Structure 1
Amino acid sequence: MRALWVGIIVVFSVLAGLGATGTVYSLIVGDDDLLGNAILLIGATAFAVLGRHGLRVFDRGAPAAARDFGRWLPAADPADGAHPELDARLRRSARRATGFAVGWAVVFAAGFTQLSLVDAAAEDLLHTGFHEIGEVVDVRHTRGTTYIEVSHGTRTDVLIRDSDRDYRVGDEVIVIYDPADPSRVRTADEPNEGDGRLALGIVPMLAALFGLPFSIGPAAGWRRRIRAVERTGWRRAGVTDDQLGGSQGRYLDAEFRDGTDVTLRRSWAFLNLSPSAGWKNRPVWVGGWGKTMVVGDEKGPYVLAAHAIRERVSRSRP
């Protein structure tokens, strides 16, 4: 259920970003898409806020469901005390992950803006450029792209075909170009925006569409871990990095002072570069519950995101 709310937030946040960028662009250039962009911005923002509200309601119910911290941690001991340095590292990890998410959002907005500017430049040339009759003198296909060579006046230019028009040598076309910069040229049907300029917008957007969802998850995970540790505090434990049988991968075995232990697995998160390989009963601190647990090492620069793969059991049990 939580994944559903996160998905709603991610999808509609991206759409709201598109709407915001489009609205700003429409206000600047004064095009006819202002109303549509504004509706997209308002509607997507409303659904993103709804998703955020649903997620907060769901998260508020999580502590109640996990009130029995004894499933993962022993009872609090006054000797455990507070550990502001670990709390600070936890918050820094959350800020880093959030920074990655914001960075991907900026990349997406930059790509979208580039595409909008390219489209606006072609549209502006259509209305303000010099028009003259030209003739198609060659049509060629290269790597899935069709180019037309057009002769007009004293110039011959090669343009990219983007429309569905089927050109033949000798066809008459209307050529529009900028007298101050004749390299800016198009026809009435072909904006000739250029693969390079389009790639400057498309590539960042595609990269952001891949990176943004993967960065939002860890960012949200670190925020949940902050709340979990605030509720449970830290417990002293000796942690051993070991290998599960077969191909199940590595795990962290945390043994507490009361003789119980809990089995954890490292969660994928940004900038958790402090290796746990080679740990043998390493004295560290463990906090949180269930899928939102944290391992804090006072001797290392980072805290490690983890999740329980087995509830706490006594060492005397098989």
Structure 2
Amino acid sequence: MVLRDPLRGLARRRARWLAVTAVGLAGFVVFVVAVAVYRLTAADPVFDRGDISGLIVVFAVSLGFAGLGGLRLRVLARRIRDTASENGFGGWLPAPSAADDDRRIDFGAETGRLRRTTRRAAALVLVWVALFTGGLAGMSLLDEAAGELLATGDRVPGVVLSVYDPGKGTPSMRVRFGSRTAKIVRDSGHHYHVGEAVTVVVDPADPEHVRTTEEQNENQFVFGLCLVALLLGLAGAPVAAGAALGWRRRARAVGVTGWRVATVDVVPDRSIGGRKRPPPTIHVRYRDGTGIVLRAVLSTHGAKALADFTDRLAWVGGWGREMAVLFPQGPRRPGPYAVPAAAKTPRAASAFRRSRR
């Protein structure tokens, strides 16, 4: 018989508020990126009064959703912790026993290591944000340099010699001005034709640095680096923030519950075409005859390297989606190795046997 899970309703409410928070944060990120891209790419970036009002509304609504969701999540986290404690964490862990102790492992230190993992993940958020900021700043500097050249450069009449519109890559054209020719990157959207007259702007201090009055002709290598940095930072920061939040919740949960000894199997998912798909499933058998099925959480500290481990000694702590499995030895280095996990089902007297069929 499956043991009753008293926190299922709270977990559903938390999932809904997580969605609200995610929508708010996503809206804010899209807002920031859209404004930044417009300012960097528009020839004359100007916001009229109606645009400013709309931007203020989007900014306020997105931050409002994110802030309200964050507050509700904090309240629900306290309620989940209190309710789980009142019920002895029986939905996920058996009662503590002397068998949980092992002199080879300092469990207090391992719980502290979860907190250090949280701090490292939080530090990575700053790295990704710095990468995003650096990419954005680099694009802004390129735009400023192009604007300065337009304002201070020497203007020379020129003529279009050829126009390139590759299927992949950046459109460009070759322009002759005086006795020289130069390749100009096209980003204004204007359609040129051979023989068309253009005005070339030349940097007096660096004759190789040229543009036209319409085309900025930014350094594509530098622009590409800035774009990659911006996109990597934009993608990496939310992932690192989610990982930091997850490790923080797990560290708190394990700090409350402690660790329970168990025997585990790490089973890779071969549900599609026989291919292994991360993350694997962890089948847990406690010493009191009950068991629970966990799903390893995708992480750089995950269980993929432990796939196909069977009948392994481990310790389990936490509750619900904030659980961790502590192995006495890691896959690549000696010493305890903690894997983040989430419960797929409540603890049951025959959960493991059912999952093996």
* Equivalent residue, structure 2, for 1:72: 92
Q: Is residue 187 from structure 1 mapped to residue 223 from structure 2 by the alignment?
A: no
Task: Return the alpha-carbon distance in structure 1 between the equivalents of residues 321 and 224 of structure 2.
Answer: 40
CA 1:282–1:47: 2 relative to 1, 3 Å: same
Q: Is residue 255 from structure 1 mapped to residue 285 from structure 2 by the alignment?
A: yes
Q: 2:120 aligns with which of 91, 96, 120?
A: 96
**Residue-by-residue CA offset, 1:222-251 (whole Å, 9 max, x unaligned):** 111112112222222222335789669853
* Equivalent residue, structure 2, for 1:3: 18
1:8 Cα deviation (Å)? Answer: 4.0
* Equivalent residue, structure 1, for 2:13: none
Q: Is residue 63 from structure 1 mapped to residue 78 from structure 2 by the alignment?
A: no
* Equivalent residue, structure 1, for 2:201: 176
CA contact (8 A) 2:132 2:233 kept: yes
* Equivalent residue, structure 1, for 2:342: 307
1:278 Cα deviation (Å)? Answer: 5.1
1:47 Cα deviation (Å)? Answer: 6.0
CA contact (8 A) 1:71 1:311 kept: yes
Task: Return the alpha-carbon distance in structure 1 between the equivalents of residues 304 and 214 of structure 2.
Answer: 57
Q: 2:306 aligns with which of 276, 288, 291?
A: 276
Q: Which amino acid aligns with 1:159?
A: I
Task: Return the alpha-carbon distance in structure 1 between the equivalents of residues 201 and 349 of structure 2.
Answer: 81
CA 1:273–1:104: 2 relative to 1, 3 Å: farther
1:288 Cα deviation (Å)? Answer: 0.7
Structure 1: gaps of 5 or more residues: 26-30
Q: Which amino acid aligns with 1:96?
A: R
Task: Return the alpha-carbon distance in structure 1 between the equivalents of residues 237 and 116 of structure 2.
Answer: 19
Quote the RMSD (CA, aligned, Å): 3.8
**Residue-by-residue CA offset, 1:54-104 (whole Å, 9 max, x unaligned):** 432332333245443111111234774782121122123323333333332
**Residue-by-residue CA offset, 1:275-307 (whole Å, 9 max, x unaligned):** 434544433221111111111124444201111
Q: Which moved more, 1:226-235 or 1:164-173?
A: 164-173
Q: Which moved more, 1:58-67 or 1:117-126?
A: 58-67
TM-score between both structures, scaled by the size of structure 1 = 0.79
Q: Equivalent pairs: percent with the same residue?
A: 36
Q: Which amino acid aligns with 1:52?
A: G
Residue 71 of structure 1 aligns to a residue in which SS? coil
* Equivalent residue, structure 2, for 1:123: 147
* Equivalent residue, structure 1, for 2:186: 161
CA contact (8 A) 2:301 2:339 kept: no
Task: Return the alpha-carbon distance in structure 2 between the equivalents of residues 165 and 20 of structure 1.
Answer: 23
Q: Which amino acid aligns with 1:261?
A: G
Residue 165 of structure 2 aligns to a residue in which SS? strand
* Equivalent residue, structure 1, for 2:12: none
Q: Which moved more, 1:85-94 or 1:212-221?
A: 212-221
1:20 Cα deviation (Å)? Answer: 12
Q: Which amino acid aligns with 1:169?
A: V
Q: Which moved more, 1:275-284 or 1:101-110?
A: 275-284
Task: Return the alpha-carbon distance in structure 2 between the equivalents of residues 244 and 151 of structure 1.
Answer: 62
1:13 Cα deviation (Å)? Answer: 6.4
Structure 2: gaps of 5 or more residues: 1-15, 330-334
